[in-house]
A and B are shown apart, each in its own frame.
Chain A
């Protein structure tokens, strides 16, 4: 009775509730001060009273099963540590959010939470027939719920199973810098981006050095009047040549992809194509061609090459994609669902695919995360360890994984 009185009194005040503003496109958290009378707050389902949140059984937040192939439902919500050689390859810049990488550096270990979408994908990949045409796995979900992390988790599994990994970090970066555009000598209506092609080639080589030795070209290429490479040239040689003569790099990239597609099934090679933000492959660039007209990204050479990997006409691999709101243009960011972000064209190219949604933390996962941060000293102080403190974090973050970390950073 008196509680409701107090509630009415406080809720009726001027400054009681400041809404937490998430400025989503820039991932800034405006954690404004607010007065959270936790037992008295009205109408917010994120905050529960002390009576609602029962004291949890102490749950282990870590697991020693560090191989994704062996992880099961039991490990969902627990953190596992990625072994260092794999962490260096896959849990690095380009794969993951810089804030997360900074956290790995701070904690002196690379640990991520085992979550449902990753396990489901790994499950399907285990039983897939690599003689059949490639299966496409599309991850979508709200910001901060772990799309890129899922990619990295599955790539960990792939590395352990000795997959070849073709990673396209953020396609927008490919065509973002019009200064590097160059008209292609090989194909009309194509523009090449030298710098980005070089970058990609280097990272590809670094990741898949031991696989490249098996790959050889199947057709003769004429680079210039004097240069040509015959059938049967190993891909590593082509790459060496490309590093010497940078002009040919975009076409070499095309060559690599063509050969991979053709020979993957025959060589017994398993390929994992990872694209983070695939919806930006189906959009316009910001380069003006005519007043009001922008160059479509399909005219960029690298984009054309990567699009070929999304087709159904090859076998011996899996295609792992993320559909991200931020990869779209500003005016197309209303929803996180695949069809909206991909557009008609994108959906037609990818269909049929298997969709996976990354969600906010469940209660178990949230508390596990809190335990982990406590253990790692990211969430500290006597106040941070209390039930009330955790309630406040839960309210501030809304159980969104990214924002849980951000909320804990203030404690």
Chain B
């Protein structure tokens, strides 16, 4: 396992650095581009490679060659400034294969070397592609679907998927703390009255929501960004029962009874500013309108009301016919009124028992036998 890891690392070093000069015969055999496909023919055609040597078909590289590439007369020159140049040592002569493996196992990646106290903001200061050597946790990306898939193919060092996805390792709490601390001097203090979300809702009941869109297209315009949504809790408007009922009826679908939110969406104008103004205007108009009391509101009937109202109900009319002398405030009717209000909402067997009692009381009936 350790062997394979190291293989990749060495491969990376050798194949991905563009500044490496190809000197002498120290060229990884894989990178010879002029190799024709049909190796057999090449040999017959006496082809020569770019160096003028007789072309030899590519053999599968052996581990020992990769670990210790044959050092020819030339020297590998490394032009990277960050790292010191490799020791010009004939590795093949000094170290055995076992030694090399031991070396590989002894020298861990920075991730493996990282202590728990390491400051993550220094390890990953800015947004960067995922680098498995720096990330101290073993993570995997993907699920093995086919039997023939290598079980190790999702490990962080082998998987390319981890590199493709965006990571937010540059935005941890530690990072944000640092950002915030840096910005602190430009900011004013948060008001103490707004200590909870309840307080914020109380002081700022109206919420205006707008959305901005980013596209990758020739045009930077997005028609959806003109939409403005206004949300306000009807309870915070402090209306009386009648006005509140009227507002809800006027608002229709815009009102959500469960959350008590009135949501007004403005999208009929081309510009956001216009929509915002319109939406505020609508709220004002609704508010003013529901507070007005109009003449026809007196004519409300049983069908119009949502909650049960005894004074409008047909039961009251019926009762008047049977018992014209009975007053609304009479004791016998109280239970009857309550039960009817409950029946308006739900029905149940127990409720009907109550209803029966109340009707018997109201009508003043008595059973013939006392025990019934």
Contacts and interface: CB of A to CB of B under 8 A. Distances in A.
A126 interface: yes
Contact of A127 (B321, B349, B366, B371): B366
Interface string B321-336: 1100000000000001
B359 interface: yes
A119 B362 CA distance: 22
B347 A337 contact: yes
B363 A352 contact: yes
B358 to A, nearest CB: 8
Contact of B359 (A72, A120, A337, A352): A352
Contacts of A356: 356
B66 interface: no
Interface stretch (B73-81, B140-148, B206-214, B311-319): B311-319
Interface string A79-99: 000000000000000000000
Interface string A127-143: 11000110100000000
Most chain B CB atoms below 10 A, which of A72, A352, A353, A357: A352
B352 A338 contact: yes
Contacts of B318: 312, 348, 351-352
Contacts of B343: 339
B137 interface: no
B352 A352 contact: no
B352 A126 contact: no
B212 to A, nearest CB: 48
A340 B356 CA distance: 17
Interface string A323-341: 0000000000001011110
A128 B365 contact: yes
Contact of A123 (B336, B349, B363, B368): B368
B314 A124 contact: no
Interface string B341-368: 0010001110010011001101101111
A286 B365 CA distance: 40
A354 B360 contact: yes
A127 B367 contact: yes
B349 to A, nearest CB: 7
Contacts of B348: 337
A123 B360 contact: no
B369 interface: yes
B365 A127 contact: yes
A133 B364 CA distance: 12
A348 B314 contact: yes
B369 A123 contact: yes
A391 B78 CA distance: 96
Contact of A340 (B322, B347, B365, B366): B347
A124 B349 contact: no
Interface string A113-124: 000000110011
Contacts of A337: 347-349, 352
B368 A124 contact: yes
A133 B322 contact: yes
13 contacts: A119-B372, A120-B367, A124-B368, A124-B372, A127-B365, A127-B366, A127-B368, A335-B347, A337-B348, A338-B347, A348-B315, A352-B318, A355-B356
Interface of B: 314-315, 318-319, 321-322, 336, 340, 343, 347-349, 352, 355-356, 359-360, 362-363, 365-369, 371-372
Given A132-B322, A339-B347, 12 more contacts: A72-B369, A73-B371, A124-B372, A127-B368, A133-B322, A337-B352, A352-B315, A352-B318, A352-B319, A354-B360, A355-B352, A355-B356
